[in-house]
Amino acid sequence: MKRVRIATRASALALAQSGAVGRSVADALGCETELVPLVTSGDRLADAPLARVGGKGLFVKEIEEALLDGRADLAVHSAKDLPAAASAGLVLAAFPARADPRDALVAREPGARLLALPRGARVGTGSARRSSQLLAQRPDLEIVPLRGNVDTRLRRLFERGLDAILLACAGLDRLGRGEVIQERIDPLVLLPAVGQGTLALQARAGDPLAEQLLVLDDGLTRARLAAERAFLRELEGDCNVPLAAYAEPQDGGRLRLFALLASPDGRALVRSEQSGPVSEAEALGRRAASEVLANGGTEILTRLRAEPFA
C-alpha cells in the first residue's frame, strides 16, 4: 500500500492524536504514514470568540480541503470540532475507542472541586456550553473568556489571576498532562460536548482507504457519537449554541442519552434523557431534540439567533 498522508491541525494536541492514529493505521494496514500539519482558520484566530469569526467549522475547513484536493489521504479530527452538517465528497470512515469524555477542572488550589469553588471565583473557559451550565449552578462565579491551545490556557490560569479553568480530560491525558487535573467532573454535573473524547477519521468518499479504515472503528463509540450528533443536527447547533449531549452505554446493548440546551446566562436550561437499543442511536438523539424543543428550547434558539453573540 502507498504511504498514507494524514492531515491534522498543527497544535501539540492534534499532532499527538494524529501520531497515535498514524501508528495504528501503519500497524493495521501494513503501510507507512506521514503527518501533514496544517494551520486552520480557527488556529489563526485563536484569540477571537469562535461565534464571531465563523464557528467551530474553522478548525476543519483547511483540513477537509487538503483531502478533497489530494494533498492528504486521511484526516484526524476531534469529533467535537465537527460541524453538524456533513461535508460533500467526504466520509467519516472510523471512530477509534473513545477516551475520557469528561470535563476537567484545573485550579490554582490543589484538591479544588468545581461546585466548592469560593464565591465569586474567576473561572476561565471559551466554551458557551461550559459557561452556561456553570452559571446555572453557580451564578456567583465570574466567567472569563479563554481560548488558545492547552499550554496557553494552562499558563493563563496564573497569568490572568484565575482561580480555575475548564478543559477536556481527553486532551490533557493525550498530552501526558493528566496530573494537572484536580477533578474529573461527573457528566451529570457538567454535561460534555457532543463527541468529546472521540477522534473522527475522515477520508474521501469512494476511496478504498475509507473501507480499510473500518478495522480501527469501535462500534460502541460510533453509536454513542451517532446519538449525540443527531441531537446536534436537529438543533442545528454550532459553537454559539450552549448545548451538550452525552450517550453512555448500558447493559443489554442499550444507550442512555443525556442532552440539554441552555441560554448563555444559564437562567434557562432544558434537559432530556432518553434510552434505547444501540441500534436506535440516532433516534435517541432526535427524540431528545424534540423533547428539548417542545419544552422551551425553541424559545432559547430563537433568542440566540436574534442576538447570536450576546
Tell me the catalytic residues. Answer: 81
Q: Is 14 within 8 Å of 81 (Cβ atoms)?
A: no
Closest CA to 150 of 78, 65, 246: 78
Per DSSP, what are the bridge partners of residue 249?
255
Per DSSP, what are the bridge partners of residue 8?
37
* Phi, psi for residue 277 in degrees, rounded to 5: -65, 150
Cell digits of residue 33: 504514514
Per DSSP, what are the bridge partners of residue 54?
none
* Phi, psi for residue 220 in degrees, rounded to 5: -70, -40
* Pairing state between β 199-204 and 74-78: antiparallel
Sequence-ordered list of residues with C-beta below 8 angstroms from that of 121, at least 6 positions apart, any chain: 141, 142, 163, 164
Distance CA 160, CA 85 (A): 36
Q: Is 245 within 8 Å of 227 (Cβ atoms)?
A: yes
